[in-house]
Amino acid sequence: MSNQPVRIVGDGGPSVVLLAGGAESVSDFFPGLVDELVSNRRCRVVLYDRPGVGSNATPGQLSGASVALHAMLETNGFGPAVLIGQSLGGAAALLLARDYPEDVAGLVLLDPSLVNDVNLARSTERAARAAAFLCRVPLVEKLFDSQFRSYGAKLADRRNLSSDDRSAFAQAAAVDIPKLREAVQGLAEIAQDFRESDLPRVPSAVVTADRKKSSKVFRAHARLAEALGAHLHQWPGAEHAVHLTNPSEVVDVCRQVLGEVDLRT
């Protein structure tokens, strides 16, 4: 795919915006989904890298994600849109839904970063900051890179992923830690002001990785689902990159939300 901050696939139907996690580009982050949305759902798919991440050279942080998303949708006449976001991409989608509810027709949140839990958000920032500091040492940076790639390869083998999904996993495993540290900066401050009650009731789904129901992350995701009036999905063995470990299940969830949006329009 083209290395551009905004790329459009399809020329009709409802707009669906894809938002990748971390500081990664949305290009090819979810193999097969674009074809599914364009060919089978007749959607116009918007692949978008917000400022500060992926191919977007414009400086920016998560705190400005909703303004940037709103401007992109308004400029191109794409709203209201269904947003499909993973990790920090899911957090950006939630901020748009809170700040510009008229822009959002539906939400699919794939193990979203925790904008609704200050302590977890603070821990995420702290971990990213520590990793970026350690990566100032070249040998440590290489060690991190090796560990991420090894973990990704083993997980791909265990899940018996297709070649396209393996490629996407390799892309996700090539983490630019300093850029990720910038991407999560301000997450705790955002979480302090975030109120689940400010979210609109639109067709939605929240997907959480396979973790204990007593975990703080699971409970935070459950609160998001309750606020949105959405179903909370969880599958055995699902990892944070749930779109890659459980692609068929996630595609089904996307179909369900789009079906609910269709019924409303």
Phi, psi angle pair for 63, to nearest 5°:
-60, -25
pLDDT at 54: 83
User: Which range, of 53-57, 64-68, 150-154, averages the lowest pLDDT?
Assistant: 150-154
Compute CA distances 118 → 138, 164, 210, 246, whole Å.
Answer: 32, 36, 22, 28
Q: What is the pLDDT of residues 183-234, one digit of tens each?
A: 888 999 999 999 999 999 999 999 999 999 999 999 999 999 999 999 999 9
pLDDT of 165 strictly over 70: no
Select, from the ranges 6-10, 56-60, 112-116, 128-132, the one with the highest average predicted confidence (pLDDT).
112-116
Q: Note the pTM of the prediction, 2 decimals.
A: 0.87
Give the Cα separation of 109 and 191 in Å (integer). 17
pLDDT band for 60, please (50, 70, 90 cuts).
confident
Structural element, H or E, at residue 86 = strand 81-86
Give the Cα separation of 220 and 124 in Å (integer). 14
CB 112 within 8 A of CB 21: no
pLDDT band for 2, please (50, 70, 90 cuts).
very low
CB atoms within 10 A of CB 12: 9
pLDDT at 1: 42
Give the Cα separation of 78 and 72 in Å (integer). 8
pLDDT at 187: 93
Q: What is the pLDDT of residues 102-160, one digit of tens each?
A: 999 999 999 999 999 999 999 998 888 787 666 666 665 665 566 555 666 666 666 66
Q: At what angle do helices 88-99 and 65-76 cross, to 10 degrees?
A: 70
Specify the 3-state DSSP secondary structure of 113: coil
Give the Cα separation of 27 and 2 in Å (integer). 8
pLDDT of 4 strictly over 70: no
The β-bridge relationship of strands 81-86 and 104-110 is parallel
Q: What is the residue whose two structure tokens read 């983490």?
A: 175
Query: How high does pLDDT run on average in the chain?
Result: 86
Phi, psi angle pair for 126, to nearest 5°:
-65, -45
User: Which range, of 3-17, 35-49, 112-126, 193-207, averages the lowest pLDDT?
Assistant: 3-17
Start-to-end CA distance of the chain, whole Å, equals 31
* HEC sequence for 105-164: EEEEEECCCCCCCHHHHHHHHHHHHHHHHHCCCHHHHHHHHHHHHHHHHHHHHHHCCCHH
**Of 23, 105, 4, residue with least CA distance to 65:** 23
User: Which range, of 10-14, 29-33, 57-61, 168-172, averages the lowest pLDDT?
Assistant: 168-172
pLDDT at 222: 97
